[in-house]
Amino acid sequence: MGLETGKRAIVVQQLALQTTGHNISNANTVGYTRQMVNMEAARPFCTPGIPSSSGVGQIGTGVAAGSINRIRDEFIDLQIRKESRSLGYWDTILDGMEQIEIIIKEPSDTGLRSVMDQFWQAWQDLTVNPESEAVRSVVVERGTALAETFNHMYQQLTDLRSDTNANLQVKVQEVNSMIIQLRDLNKEILAVSVAGQQPNDLMDKRDLLLDQLSRMANISISEDAYGMITVQMGGRSIVQGSECTTLSTATDSNGMHMITWADTGIKANISSGEIGALLDLRGQTILAQENAVSEYKEIIPAALEQLSTLAQTVVVMTNELHRSGYSLNNNSHPDSAFPDGTNFFNLPDDINDVANWAAYIKVNSLITEDANNIAAASNRTWDENDQESNFGDGSLALLIAQLRQSINITRSQTCSDSLSALDISSVSGSLTVAYNGGATTTITLAAPAEPYQDLQQLAAAIQAQLDANTDLSSSGISITVKCDGDRLAFTSANSGFEGIADVDLLGGTAFSALSSIGGGIENVTCDDYWASVASSVGVQCQQASRMSENQTILVNQLENSRQSVSGVSLDEETADLIKFQAAYNAAARFITVIDEQLDTIINRMGTVGR
Amino acid sequence: MRITNQIMVNNLKQHLGSNTQRMAGIQEKIASLKKINKASDDPGSLVQVMRLRGNVTENEQYIRNLGEGLSFLDTADAALDDLTTVMQRVRELTVQAANGTNDSTSLQTIADEINVLKEHIQTIANISYANKYIFAGTNVTKAPCGEEEWTGNGGSLTMEIGVGITVAINIDMRDIFGNPTGLDDLGNPDGGIFDLFDQLIADIQSGDSDAISARLEGMDAKIDDILSKRSIIGARVNRLELHENRMKDEQVSLKSLLSKREDADLAELAIDLQTQENVYNASLAAGAKIIMPSLLDFLS
């Protein structure tokens, strides 16, 4: 019995030494949990007879290794996974926001703000020197620079969006690889546990994978009796026992990926974590399965949209004024009494046709080819005898320059049909105004007593009718009619004005096809709008940076608490090493003692009478 | 709390990292001399900085416009000064001619001189500044005093000299000069300088000294008119100069405001950097001491 006790002690202490060695070897292994041999006293020897040989009852039989355990606090694991999900989210958002911030490039002397400033400045210079070819070409150059800045920023943001999209694809593959590894580990863990052993190192590997996976997305984990885990993500079990479900992507016509389940092809609702952040940055796809109202933050699409809105406002406002002006080439116009200003920036027939103004914006080629086509004058530049008469008039250029300060609330609509070929001398008919969410009111125009001499008189007559309309005046809507070249333009500063629904002048020969009222920025100047865009990017970036910093500290602290429980302390292990070595030595000495006892019994006892 | 080697290494790494990050932030500010290098540095001030920058550019433009306007007005004033001199000389000649003791040769000489001066007045009327005829209204590309008629118009050359403040820099001289032929559209005398001179020359050539004397009145009235135009110019120059001074003052305060918002305080940053460096050095030194010892060092 004594020899057996000694042997057990030697074996168990050796096991403890081996485990200590294992701990020391893995002191720097990521995800490693220190292990400890759970030593317990072996079952005591009990003699049932009343007069037992020793007389005191049970005898100890040495030590037994109950199990080798991981020293781990699962509550800390839970916290770490929750916080690192948040860390993954904010880190990724911060990454994206920092790039948007670089693209926005404010404050700087080369950002959009200063390019816009230079554009308005060029118009100021044109006000002073409208006859100068050199100043005119500066306006063209500044206009081109402005358009190109918009184009460039739009391109950069679009590139950022596609990069984010590509990144999303990579993350999905990473998640898939983790899912498969987790399933394989589940199988291995099962195989070990059914054999009644502790698969400590496999569990470490699994827990590390779970830590990494929790950075990616919102997951919840449960463990069964055999140490196999079930992982849930996006409302489905991605790993369950030896089964798993992987992710896949569906791609829309813009190349944007929507995350789907590989087996069903249905959209996987994944939020938070790195993937959630990428989705928030990139925004939703245009696939039918995505809701019309996005569930994501749409950070990059929002920046693109704001840029486009600003571009649209600059285009529409500049064009509207520019069209009502007279260029220096007005003598080539059929009737120089009408303004011949073209669109300064390209404008489609229907402004709703353009989705991305920041990409669309471009100075009209008529203007880039001949700077004299810039309309700086608000009165005719050539007189009725075809003599230049008003080249020094820069009053329209001044109006355009003043757009810099103007609060943009003008809503306008222009007839796309020209009236120049029509006889307007005795126009009569009706036009219908839409306002305040679908209400309409019709204005009738009687034939004039004296024939209209020109379009201005017709516009004045329509204006008088509009001003007299009680429906409009009681709704607080005032509409201005202007001649826009040989077309009519209706403008209002009231947001209730929704456009001219129907025009039936000229006794049935209606001129229709009105260009629609577009969005554009309202109630703020272009400069202030851009400043608020830049500052909101700044605020978001600041928030992301603060959150990411906080989460880093939090996760680090939790990591430290985990280390505090599970980490290998070399000092401790060295001390253990000495402890177990001493115990081993003592056990060996114990065996020697038993050996000597046996020697005494066998060799020295009963030698009397030999 | 149980402290392991890993915890110490992690903490050291994290703190060294945040120390260097703070140092990099201060260094960026020192290198760029700006407090706000990107939007997130101070989103609150960003809006103000952007607006102030816009205001500075805007003011620069207004100051440039004002300079242009003042030069334009100076040219006009010099031209009118010249015009007054010519008128005064013609008045002298008229007084001389009205004397009644002149023979026909000397009267002709006077008439010839007035004729030459008339041509000079045409030159004055066609004076240009930066390729712009200054008395042509908005028809600046055409010499206003042509062969037959005055081609200038009454349009004003306006420019913006402050937000929403516009000013005309040219003056309408049509009533002073009249048509070069001295006749209006209907062929009647138009009362301009050329009309005055033509009639004066005719009177001198006819030798009617009473008629010549009677012209003096019209002459004086014209000189008065010119002087009143000059006073308009003078008043406008004063206004523009006043405005220019105000703009320049404003520019200085805008720039100092902008500087206060976005420029880095070097002294403060230098001290911050020094402090940060000390902290960094201290954490490095402490790290070296803490990480080093292990039980193994003391076991034989």
Is beta strand A257-261 parallel, antiparallel or unpaired with respect to A247-251?
antiparallel
Check residue B79 and give its pLDDT.
Answer: 95
A555 close to A86: Cβ distance less than 8 angstroms: no
What is the per-residue pLDDT across A450-494, written as a single tens digit (0 to 9) for each? 888 777 788 888 888 888 888 888 888 888 887 766 777 787 777
Per-residue exposure over A96-125, b if at least 16 CB sit within 10 Å of its own CB, e if not: bbbbbbebbbbbeeebbbbbbbbbbbbbbb
A287 close to A265: Cβ distance less than 8 angstroms: no
d(CA B241, nearest CA chain A) in Å: 17
Task: Name which of B57, B68, B73 to mutate to probe chain A: the one with the most chain A Cβ atoms within 10 A of its Cβ.
Answer: B57
Rounded to an integer, the average pLDDT of A533-558 is 93
pLDDT at A519 over 70: no
String of DSSP letters for A275-344: HHHHHHHH---SSTTS-SS-SS--HHHHHHHHHHHHHHHHHHHHHHHHHTSB-TTGGGSS-TTS-----S
The CA distance from A608 to B39, in Å, is 104
The CA distance from B259 to A220, in Å, is 53
pLDDT at A122 over 80: yes
State which residues of chain B have pLDDT below 70: 292, 300
pTM, 2 dp: 0.86
Chain centroid to Cα A310, Å, comes to 21
Of all residues in chain A, the one with the smallest CA distance to B59 is: A121
Q: How far is CA B171 from CA A128, B77, B133, B134, B236, in A?
A: 15, 10, 12, 8, 10
State the DSSP H helix or E strand holding residue B58, giving kind and residue range, or none if neither. Answer: helix B43-97
Q: Which residues of A touch B64 (CB under 8 A)?
A: 125
- Are A556 and B153 within 8 A, CB to CB? no
Confidence of residue A226 (pLDDT cuts 50, 70, 90): confident
pLDDT at A173 over 50: yes
Half-sphere exposure of A574 (CA within 13 A, CB side): 12
Q: Which residues of B touch A581 (CB under 8 A)?
A: none
Q: Which residue has the higher pLDDT, A408 or A69?
A: A69
Of B50, B139, B155, the CB nearest to A531: B50
Task: Name which of B47, B166, B296 to mutate to probe chain A: the one with the most chain A Cβ atoms within 10 A of its Cβ.
Answer: B47
Sheet arrangement for strand A219-223: A219-223, A229-233, A236-240, A243-244
The CA distance from B108 to B110, in Å, is 5
For residue A580, give every residue at least 6 positions away whose Cβ sits within 8 Å of its Cβ, in sequence order, or none: A13, A16, A17, A20
d(CA A352, nearest CA chain B) in Å: 31
Confidence of residue A518 (pLDDT cuts 50, 70, 90): low
State the DSSP H helix or E strand holding residue A74, giving kind and residue range, or none if neither. Answer: helix A74-104
Chain centroid to Cα B192, Å, comes to 33
Of A532, A545, A567, the CB nearest to B40: A545
Touching check for B121 and chain A: CB below 8 Å?
Answer: no
- Are A129 and B155 within 8 A, CB to CB? no
Give A109-152 as a 3 state SS string.
CCCHHHHHHHHHHHHHHHHHCCCCHHHHHHHHHHHHHHHHHHHH
For chain B, the farthest-separated pair of C-alpha atoms sits apart, in whole angstroms, at 140
Touching check for A528 and chain B: CB below 8 Å?
Answer: yes
Check residue A512 and give its pLDDT.
Answer: 47
Percent above pLDDT 70 for chain A: 92
The CA distance from B187 to B177, in Å, is 16
Check residue A606 and give its pLDDT.
Answer: 80
pLDDT at A102 over 90: yes
ipTM over 0.90: no
What is the per-residue pLDDT across B145-196, written as a single tens digit (0 to 9) for each? 888 788 888 889 999 999 889 999 999 998 899 888 888 888 888 888 999 9
Chain centroid to Cα A520, Å, comes to 23
Touching check for B157 and chain A: CB below 8 Å?
Answer: yes
What is the per-residue pLDDT across B73-96, written as a single tens digit (0 to 9) for each? 999 999 999 999 999 999 999 999
Tell me the residue type at B85.
T
Confidence of residue A47 (pLDDT cuts 50, 70, 90): low
Touching check for A390 and chain B: CB below 8 Å?
Answer: yes
Check residue A233 and give its pLDDT.
Answer: 93
Touching check for B21 and chain A: CB below 8 Å?
Answer: no
d(CA A299, nearest CA chain B) in Å: 16
| Tokens found for residue B21 | 């990050």
The CA distance from A540 to A94, in Å, is 9
Cβ atoms < 10 Å from Cβ of B292: 8
B49 close to B38: Cβ distance less than 8 angstroms: no
Touching check for B149 and chain A: CB below 8 Å?
Answer: no
pLDDT at A510 over 50: no
- Are A535 and B47 within 8 A, CB to CB? yes
The CA distance from A74 to A9, in Å, is 32
Half-sphere exposure of B287 (CA within 13 A, CB side): 18
pLDDT at A411 over 70: no
Angle between helices A133-194 and A299-323 (to 10 degrees): 160
pLDDT at A54 over 70: no
Instruction: Give the residue from A251, A257, A181 showing the smallest Cα distance to A213.
Output: A181
What is the per-residue pLDDT across A375-405, written as a single tens digit (0 to 9) for each? 999 888 888 888 888 899 999 999 999 988 8
- Residue B129 Rama label (left phi>0; alpha psi -120 to 50; beta): beta
Check residue A359 and give its pLDDT.
Answer: 92
Q: What helix, strand, coil percent values describe chain B, rounded to 5?
A: 70, 5, 25
**Phi, psi dihedral angles at A220 (to 5 degrees):** -125, 145
For residue B50, give every residue at least 6 positions away whose Cβ sits within 8 Å of its Cβ, in sequence order, or none: A106, A107, A113, A527, A530, A531, A534
Q: How far is CA A217 from CA A82, A172, A288, A448, A543, in A?
A: 10, 10, 24, 72, 20
State the DSSP H helix or E strand holding residue A431, giving kind and residue range, or none if neither. Answer: strand A429-435
For residue A455, give every residue at least 6 positions away whose Cβ sits within 8 Å of its Cβ, in sequence order, or none: A338, A419, A424, A483, A486, A488
Positive or negative, the Cα torsion across A173, A179, A180, A182?
positive
Check residue A416 and give its pLDDT.
Answer: 61
For residue A279, give every residue at least 6 positions away whose Cβ sits within 8 Å of its Cβ, in sequence order, or none: A168, A259, A270, A271, A296
Q: How far is CA A286 from CA A255, A257, A258, A282, A283, in A?
A: 10, 10, 9, 12, 10
Q: How far is CA B45 from CA A526, B50, B57, in A?
A: 18, 9, 18
State which of A330-344, A509-523, B50-64 shows the largest mean pLDDT.
B50-64
Q: How far is CA B283 from CA A549, B12, B277, in A?
A: 20, 8, 10
CATH topology for B53-258?
Answer: f41 fragment of flagellin, N-terminal domain (1.20.1330)
Rounded to an integer, the average pLDDT of A587-594 is 94
Q: Which residues of B touch A390 (CB under 8 A)?
A: 138-139, 153, 155
| Tokens found for residue A599 | 């020697």
Instruction: Give the residue from B165, B134, B133 showing the smallest Cα distance to B246.
Output: B165
Q: Which residues of B touch A124 (CB under 8 A)?
A: 61, 65, 159-160
d(CA B2, nearest CA chain A) in Å: 5
| Tokens found for residue B42 | 């101070």
Q: Which residues of B touch A529 (CB under 8 A)?
A: none
